[in-house]
Chain A
């Protein structure tokens, strides 16, 4: 006959065995949960291979190299090492863009309300037409027609030519609450399959017009570092 002391211990040991057993999931489980597929949901890829399923995300996570056309543009600091330019008088360097979009960024005007910057995108970045119309939208203007784009002047740029556009409007900067009236945008785009380079100037109309010659001079001064 076991001693009375062991009886509660045996009970405790049995309880210890039973408690995990309560939470144990069987080795075969019937799926009972389901949900309707939303009519707005994107249909999943059907028949994708393992490469098609995994490689895009692995590239996005930087776990495998991206193809040259998809590689991120070099950081602004790296870009600056490859280029030379001459800043017009009165323009001040705004330093590195925290969003990493602007490679070289200048301010000008009495309250530094004018902006001029260079940006670089890999590949064709949607093409010249899409980017010109993106600028039109920022200025609250309707899209350029194909004829209007064809009629835009070309200016010498980076040993080649770039498409030059200049128009007025209400400028709504990305992230701004309200559009600023009486603004002017002038810009130059050179689009190639490898990369697209933009130089864009915005500011109050009078100020930008007064700096139009400086803009041309700045664009022509941009050259590869010797």
Chain B
């Protein structure tokens, strides 16, 4: 009589679920689906929004089927299908758990099997398995670190121009800086209000909703209100308008562009001085200068723009070269010859397509160029450099190499065991003694 199977505990059932091949298959299939849908939806919704919806989300709530069909050149109307799918973030967390639990379960199973067979199991046999699983988890961790701690942006330089800053592609900030009397060299400081602290203050959310920002070093308080993602200052056509008009302008909201970089944001600010004097102003990202506020004998500039990050070194563009395919204007190669300036030393470097400059955790890529007109009317080329600071920049490479090593060890060990079994003499059946 065979013994009745032992009832499984809840813990072992959960572990079995999270370590199962079935879960891995479903997660990978959903990630594939997200990649497919995200690629199609970015045609209408832009790369930034698609990434947020499919890869940086906990849950995907809908699929824009109409947009996906149009992206595949199938005529369709507007149809958004409500769904409830785990988002890319959730899937990658699940995959990481699956890889960890799967690795542990495989080791435990083999050890149990060996124990049952009375074989002495060498723990080193699992080295390959542990390295391969660990490296894949490490790769997912690299994605997480990149998502939360990566800073990326661009610096636009004309020949002869130097910079040690770059502007974020997406992050917005309000900056407050003393303009006059000009602070001594090295003393100039900018107070920064991160966009995450005011982007929720949209005009349509709650009329008049605002938030007050204070700083003991500033002689006034600043209230930010009516933030608009995409807008432009406009003069009212008639004297009667419902909008707040400041110095002859109001902010006219316009439809958001799916390409986030194309949106030009703006907001109203209310400045309250210590003597209770109040003044209102408009901040707009493309403004030619900051909103000027005078308090006592000091003048301050308040501006809204892309968040500025500082580099640990300065870059001077010495020469920009653009090569085109013969007989066309199609770009073949962009090259920036730069000088890296740090601690009084100068290093000549070349940045070209696919050959970035890497230094002190920053990677500087050749991104683009544009033509601008100099003050004297002649045309000049400007080089656009993409600058990325990613703590996990090299982790995917390390992870890939480690996965390769892990799989080599694992397969090598399997092959050795297979060959050693083959070389053993075949077992002879026991003969009955008559």
List the interface of chain A (C-beta within 8 A of B). 25-31, 33-41, 43-58, 60-61, 63, 97-99, 121, 123-127, 130-131, 134, 174-177
Contact = CB atoms under 8 A, between A and B. Distances in A.
Nearest to B161: A40
A54 B324 contact: no
Interface string B215-257: 1001000000000000011100000000000111100000000
Nearest to B212: A28
Given A54-B233, A126-B377, 9 more contacts: A31-B218, A35-B310, A38-B310, A52-B289, A53-B287, A60-B286, A97-B329, A123-B377, A175-B331
Contacts of A127: 376-377
B408 to A, nearest CB: 43
23 contacts: A30-B214, A31-B193, A34-B192, A38-B164, A38-B165, A41-B165, A44-B301, A45-B289, A46-B292, A53-B287, A53-B290, A54-B249, A55-B288, A58-B233, A125-B377, A126-B374, A130-B377, A134-B378, A174-B322, A176-B323, A177-B321, A177-B332, A177-B333
- Interface centre among B193, B214, B331, B378, by most chain A C-beta atoms within 10 angstroms, is B378
Interface residues of B, number: 63
A25 B186 CA distance: 33
B101 interface: no
B191 interface: yes
- Interface centre among A36, A97, A127, by most chain B C-beta atoms within 10 angstroms, is A36
B194 interface: yes
Nearest to B341: A40
B365 interface: no
Q: How would you classify the secondary structure of chain B's contact residues: helix, strand, loop or mixed? A: strand
Interface in B296-346: 299, 301, 303, 308, 310, 314, 321-324, 328-329, 331-333
A50 B376 contact: no
B282 interface: yes
Nearest to B331: A175
Contact of B189 (A35, A46, A99): A35
Contacts of B185: 39
Nearest to B294: A47
- Interface centre among A31, A33, A49, A127, by most chain B C-beta atoms within 10 angstroms, is A31
B162 A40 contact: yes
A111 B314 CA distance: 46
Nearest to B233: A54
B301 A34 contact: no
B299 A47 contact: yes
Contacts of A49: 247
A131 B374 CA distance: 12
Contact of A40 (B164, B189, B322): B164
Given A31-B215, A31-B218, A50 B248 contact: yes
B286 A61 contact: yes
A92 B284 CA distance: 49
- Interface centre among A37, A44, A60, A127, by most chain B C-beta atoms within 10 angstroms, is A37
B188 interface: yes
Contacts of B182: 43
B410 to A, nearest CB: 44
A34 B324 CA distance: 43
- Interface centre among A45, A50, A130, by most chain B C-beta atoms within 10 angstroms, is A50
Interface in B24-83: none
A127 B374 CA distance: 12
B211 interface: yes
B299 A46 contact: yes
A35 B331 CA distance: 37
Contacts of B232: 58, 61, 63
Q: Give the 3 A-B CB pairs with smallest separation, nearest first.
A: A45-B289, A126-B377, A37-B188
A55 B291 CA distance: 14
B299 A50 contact: no
Contacts of B186: 36, 39
Contacts of B329: 97-99, 175
A35 B190 contact: yes
A37 B177 contact: yes
A35 to B, nearest CB: 5
B314 A40 contact: yes
A29 B377 contact: no
B15 interface: no
A38 B167 CA distance: 13
Nearest to B330: A98
Contacts of A47: 292, 299
Given A38-B163, A126-B378, A130-B377, A175 B284 contact: no
Interface in B185-218: 185-186, 188-194, 197, 200, 211-215, 218
Contacts of B376: 126-127, 130
Nearest to A63: B232
- Interface centre among A54, A124, A126, A177, by most chain B C-beta atoms within 10 angstroms, is A54
